[in-house]
Amino acid sequence: MRLAPIGRRLPDPDVFRRVADALARRRWLRIRYHGRARNAETERAVSPQRLVHYRDNWYLDAWCHLRRALRTFALDRIRDARLLDRPAREVTEARLDRYFAEAYGIFAGPARCTAVLRFTAERARWVAEERWHPQQRGRFLDDGRYELEIPYGDPRELVMDILKYGPDVEVIAPPSLRRLVANRLRAAAARYGSAPAAGESDRSKINVALNMARIVVHNKRNVYYRPIWVGTVNASTHMDRRRDRAGRYVRQPGGYRAFIPAPLPPDPPLDLGDPLRGLLSEADYALGRLDGAVLTLPNPDLFVFMYVRKEAVLSSQIEGTQSSLQNLLAAEARLSDPDAPADVGEVVNYVRAMNHGLARLRDLPVSVRLIREIHAVLMEGVRGGHLAPGELRTTQNWIGPGGCALHEATFVPPPPQEVPGLLSDLERFIHSGSRLPALVQVALVHAQFETIHPFLDGNGRIGRLLITFLLTERRLLSKPVLYLSHYFKRHRTEYYERLQAVRDEGDWEGWLVFFLRGVIEVSKEATATAAAILRMREDYRSRITERLGRAAGNGHRIMDRLFDHPIVTVATVRDWLGITQAGANSLVRRLVDVGLLSEITGYARNRRFRFDPYLRLFEDPAEGEP
């Protein structure tokens, strides 16, 4: 017997031993972990669940107490591991399998997309017998080719497996995966000096399924067909106008193509018939219900306080931060938090930028000046803060997989000399008095800003802040409580696909459908949260009255303060009430027994407590689970 490992990365033997020891003894483990993607270290406490040997390397599936969710850690990236004397959180095998087995490869989480791959007849005999995924589906086509359907969430490992088959496989769907693989193949060919540039008129150079492909797009609701145009093709004048109404790709001196967006509104005009007409009506109704629900709360501003912070966490997580809502609240309360990721400052800055923008709207309209102001606040003193905060970029930026070069980019925004004029056009549209529905205008502005990408960093967060500022300025809500980052994060793949389809196909209507569905979904969730807050408040007021006896008055005073200060220490309670340390300690213990507070450190000293029933209403289920 001969074993021939390929690409093996050896973990530190001491780390391996300690991880195995923690797993066998069912104890917490404190690890120092180096993530390759961000080239940064974090320290976190985990409850080990199982060791996984995958493609000649070792991984640890664990419950991460920092992220309050299941995570996978490469053992060779664990720099240090220490056993803690605390029982590990138990996660059932069924839940582990459900979470880790659904997606593709080592990347965990829900499978949001289905890849459709078509292999040549020559390769089909091998692929038909291969097991890529437990839920894969395959079939032979009449001409001997083999079509394979594979669910996936994160595409990185899937792309590597597709690329190893070279010309023997074609990605049929979804469009985002097809573009990603095509870009990687183009970039690879460019290193050998033989890559055709997409968009050249010589059809022979782009005739590898890149002229016009009929794409099968799978989602949870239906299956439909859409023509995707790549490069130069002979289409009708109407199709050309529709495809180019969002803008056009222009070759730059460096050989790459950058996208120059056309001014808003789109031309040809938007088709606001069905389904958009019905979605607009439903979105307006959902916003009205949300507005009424918020105004029934005893203090609507406290609801705004928490929603701003939830938005800050989710919008920042889209850009790769690790901080949770709990980390943010602890940082704002200036409480020592050894588990806080280093990037919590970015989330704190998002809150500052949001509050700064909302305050400035009292005397300054949404404008390039305001956008630059909030960008300066957002980027001050954090990652990317050296990249000219508040200043429009003077160099070319691009979007693509982490670490990719310009010629490998998925999308290249307009060159820097075009940015000031494009932003002026956007500001002119915002204040043009357009007769388009207000929600449609907000959706158009967000997509256009993301396409312009005027800063070297922070564009996504600024673009999502713009949605809130425009909704507030247009008075669509009396309080700023509608934040779409949760929806964009939940449907991240479709979010990026819809934005790219606007640029590549002029599909503004598809983007508007996606955006309005988000408004409806998030409005309904926020309305339900407002009602749940009222129920929770009355429930715990009754519990305090019934179970705290003569201390009930102080219990009610603490609960009222917790709504805008939901992470506390015993010293915090002592200072609020002006009582002794012993008295505060006794009162906190009784509030823990009632269920109002929950201890979150596991330490005997320097303990911190969270307003658990309240914070759970604003957290994702995986994040909020203890």
pLDDT digits (tens, 9 = 90+) for 115-151: 999 999 989 888 988 888 888 899 999 999 999 998 8
The CATH number, out of the four listed (1.10.10.10, 3.20.20.370, 3.40.710.10, 1.20.120.420), of the domain defined by the range 549-624: 1.10.10.10
Output DSSP code: residue 211: S
Question: If we measure between CA atoms, which residue out of 84, 79, 165 comes closest to residue 122?
Answer: 165
- Asked whether the beta carbons of 256 and 187 are under 8 A apart, the reply is no
- Whether the pLDDT of residue 322 is over 90: the answer is no
- Whether the pLDDT of residue 110 is over 50: the answer is yes
Q: Let me know how long the chain is.
A: 626
- Asked whether the beta carbons of 136 and 127 are under 8 A apart, the reply is no
- Whether the pLDDT of residue 365 is over 70: the answer is yes
pLDDT digits (tens, 9 = 90+) for 538-555: 999 999 999 998 899 999
- Whether the pLDDT of residue 455 is over 70: the answer is yes
Cα-Cα-Cα-Cα torsion 224, 230, 235, 238, nearest 10 degrees, comes to 70
The DSSP secondary structure of 100-169, one letter per residue, reads HHSSSTT--S---EEEEEEE-HHHHHHHTT--S-TT-EEEE-TTS-EEEEEEESS-HHHHHHHHTTGGGE
- pLDDT for res 228: 33
Q: Which of the four pLDDT bands, split at 50, 70 and 90, describes residue 258?
A: very high
Higher pLDDT, 421 or 315: 421
Single-letter code of the amino acid located at 173: A
- pLDDT for res 526: 87
Single-letter code of the amino acid located at 486: H
Q: Which of the four pLDDT bands, split at 50, 70 and 90, describes residue 101?
A: low
- Burial (CB < 10 A; 0-12, 13-18, 19+), residue 216, is middle
Which of the given ranges, 93-97, 152-156, 322-326, 360-364, has the highest pLDDT on average? Answer: 360-364
- pLDDT for res 403: 72
pLDDT digits (tens, 9 = 90+) for 43-58: 889 999 989 888 878 9
- pLDDT for res 108: 60
Between the alpha carbon of residue 23 and those of residues 15, 18, 50, 562, 601, the distances in Å are 12, 8, 7, 37, 21
- Asked whether the beta carbons of 82 and 123 are under 8 A apart, the reply is no
- pLDDT for res 16: 92
Higher pLDDT, 385 or 223: 385
As given in the structure block, the two tokens for residue 443 are 């959706």
Question: If we measure between CA atoms, which residue out of 185, 244, 213 comes closest to residue 116?
Answer: 213
The CATH number, out of the four listed (3.40.91, 2.30.30, 1.10.3470, 2.60.40), of the domain defined by the range 13-90: 2.30.30
Give the Cα separation of 590 and 17 in Å (integer): 41
User: Which residues does residue 170 pair with via DSSP β-bridges, in sequence order?
Assistant: 118
Architecture of domain 276-528: Orthogonal Bundle (1.10)
**By three-state DSSP, how is residue 598 classified?**
strand
* pTM exceeds 0.75: no
Higher pLDDT, 564 or 508: 508
Residues of the chain with pLDDT > 90, as a percent, come to 38
Give the Cα separation of 44 and 81 in Å (integer): 10
Distance of CA 136 to the CA centre of its chain: 26
Q: How much is the mean pLDDT over the chain?
A: 82
Domains 13-90 and 276-528 alike in fold = no
Q: What is the mean pLDDT of residues 400-419?
A: 86
As given in the structure block, the two tokens for residue 10 are 């050896």
- pLDDT for res 338: 58
- pLDDT for res 623: 43
Q: What is the mean pLDDT of residues 464-477?
A: 88
As given in the structure block, the two tokens for residue 451 are 């396409």
Question: If we measure between CA atoms, which residue out of 320, 325, 334, 332 comes closest to residue 306?
Answer: 325
- pLDDT for res 383: 67
- pLDDT for res 367: 93
- pLDDT for res 192: 73
As given in the structure block, the two tokens for residue 140 are 């032979």
Q: Which residues of 357-393 are buried (b: 16+ CB within 10 A; e: fewer)?
A: bbebbeeeebeeebbbbbbbbbbeebbebeebbeebb
Distance of CA 538 to the CA centre of its chain: 34
Instruction: Please state the domain extents for the chain.
Output: 13-90, 113-234, 276-528, 549-624
Crossing angle of helices 508-547/438-452, nearest 10°?
Answer: 110
Give the Cα separation of 412 and 503 in Å (integer): 11
- pLDDT for res 298: 74
Q: Which of the four pLDDT bands, split at 50, 70 and 90, describes residue 619?
A: confident
Between the alpha carbon of residue 439 and those of residues 280, 285, 444, 471, 487, the distances in Å are 8, 12, 9, 8, 16
Q: What is the mean pLDDT of residues 253-258?
A: 88
Residue whose structure tokens are 């009582």: 579
Q: What is the mean pLDDT of residues 421-445?
A: 94
